Amino acid sequence: MRLDAISPRLALVAEMIAPTWRRPLLRLALAWLALFALFAADWATMVEHWWNTSTYNHILIVPFILGWLVWQRAPQLALLAPQAWWPGLVLVAGALFGWLLGDVSGTATISHLGVVMAMQASVITLLGPRVAWALLFPLAFALFLVPLGEELVPALQMITAHITIALTHASGIPALIEGVFIDTPAGLFEVAEACSGVKFLVAMVALGTLVSHVCFRSWTRRAVFMAAAVVLPILANGVRAWGTIYIAQSQGIAFAAGFDHIVYGWIFFALVMAALLGLGWKFFDRKVDDPFIDADRIAAAAWPARLERWNANGWSVLAALALVALGMVAWSAQARSVEAKLSDEIALPQVQGWTRTALDQTYPWQPRAGGADRRLTASYRDAQGRVVDVVYAIYAAQEDGREAGAYGEGALPLETEWRWLDDAPAPDGARGECLQALGRQQRVAYTLFRHGDWTGSSRMRLKLSNMRDRLLGTADPTIMLILSAEDTPTQDGAEVIADFMQSTAPLPEWMDAVARLD
């Protein structure tokens, strides 16, 4: 297509934009292009989640919703005069520092939140606080671009399990619950991750937020509707799980599972969503033609005037914003280059009273230690024939793909037959878990992390320690130790591990000795 054919179209678009908005919008577009380019890898990862992870498929329409929300405000926005505001650079720097923390520690959720908040902060910076006030809801709704929610899966599994067992008992079906497993006359049922209801809950929260804003004026009605948008899908998911168990008692597990995926998976939750909107419909108090903002009131407001004392030249602010973003990217590159030097020769030592052997397991169990630079696995057997499995992993640095505390890493290997059953009492600093496979194989596992002088099981503490060290250029390795033993009628797994720990040196020193750390 020829340029002289494009120019009239661009001129027509420009004429549709109020003169006071043309340069500010151009600067905002340039800022967004720069932020998209500098953080393209993060945006690509987010889009991949939106497209490939069913929990986040609804986010694909969020950009279009944001465009619609801004379009609805366009006539009123045209009456305002955007101004660049240099204190907004502090917000941009704060958002990008959050991205930096997530990037250097391999915490994708934090880095994704940082890049989205940087886009929001750039609007405030280049259009000013008065315009940002007018765009408050679209700016806030943009947070739904961040793929969040899967962190809720374990809690939602337990909530669903408790609702299900209560309904099962109420319907007269004898059942026993152990963790996320429900044993009934028809068979053993598991409230698996896919049954947690997180997909529907995340989508319903986004929908509820949008409907609360668009259809209500009363804050009380908004709060009630949002509470219903959170509670209803959780309760509905419990009913769905109970329905599967109830049907299985007469029709068999295979039929119930197929019915669950076809009917409950698509029809049931669609009906729940329709019911939520139907119940809220009679209480909608916003008229269709009501404007979302009042430009005259916003223009006359006094409080933004106090902030507008720090308005500045738009091009200078844009240049400063670009320098802030480039500085954070450079800092990230430097921090990510910090890695601890590891010994090439490490080995699990002999332990008095225990003989090191090859893996000796009734049912295969292999914890996840993705990206570990060194990994050691062995079993130790004592004179009574009791066996402890030891998994030792050391990382020169923590980042995405090689993070000891990441979701799915550690004692509970995902995409296997092993499931979390319950928390287990553990020594100070360790995390204890009871695991189960095939409904009958059980084991106890203790997990500890060590970084620098700290030893414990807090994944948050581990992340913070790694963030601090990488930002300051300190190169300390991270160690993950998992001690596990089978729990059988003739062997108490926790007791076996406790006896093994009595035979080793204090675990922090033992972990350092294996890594050959001074």
Q: What is the pLDDT of residues 21-67, one digit of tens each?
A: 999 999 999 999 999 999 999 999 999 999 998 889 999 999 999 99
What would the DSSP string read from start to end of 363-412? S----B-TT-SEEEEEEEEETT--EEEEEEEEESS-BTTB-TTSTT-BSS
Domain spans of the chain, in order of start: 16-148+293-336, 151-281, 354-515
> Per-residue pLDDT tens for 436-476?
988 788 999 999 999 988 999 998 899 888 888 888 888 88
> Per-residue pLDDT tens for 123-170?
999 999 999 999 999 999 999 999 998 888 888 989 999 999 999 999
Q: At 486, is the secondary structure helix, strand, or coil?
A: strand
Q: Which long-range contacts (CB under 8 A, 24 or more apart) does 115-120 make?
A: 115/35, 115/39, 115/42, 115/43, 116/142, 116/143, 116/145, 116/146, 117/91, 117/143, 118/35, 118/39, 118/92, 118/325, 119/32, 119/35, 120/95
Dist. CA 475–CA 286, nearest whole Å: 57
456 forms beta bridges with: 449
**pLDDT confidence bin for 208, thresholds 50/70/90:** very high
For residues 373 and 346, the answer to whether their CB atoms sit within 8 Å is no
Rounded to an integer, the average pLDDT of 311-332 is: 95
* Higher-pLDDT residue of 435, 194: 435
Whether the pLDDT of residue 318 is over 70: the answer is yes
For the chain, how long is the longest CA-to-CA vector? 89
**pLDDT confidence bin for 195, thresholds 50/70/90:** confident
For residue 96, the number of C-alpha atoms closer than 13 Å in the C-beta half-sphere is: 26
In one letter, which amino acid is 86? W
Q: At 188, is the secondary structure helix, strand, or coil?
A: strand
- What the block records as the tokens of 487 is 């729990």
Q: Which long-range contacts (CB under 8 A, 24 or more apart) does 222-228 make?
A: 225/280, 225/283, 228/276, 228/279, 228/280
For residues 446 and 484, the answer to whether their CB atoms sit within 8 Å is yes
Dist. CA 142–CA 82, nearest whole Å: 20
**pLDDT confidence bin for 114, thresholds 50/70/90:** very high
Of 324, 478, 328, 494, the C-alpha closest to 423 is 494
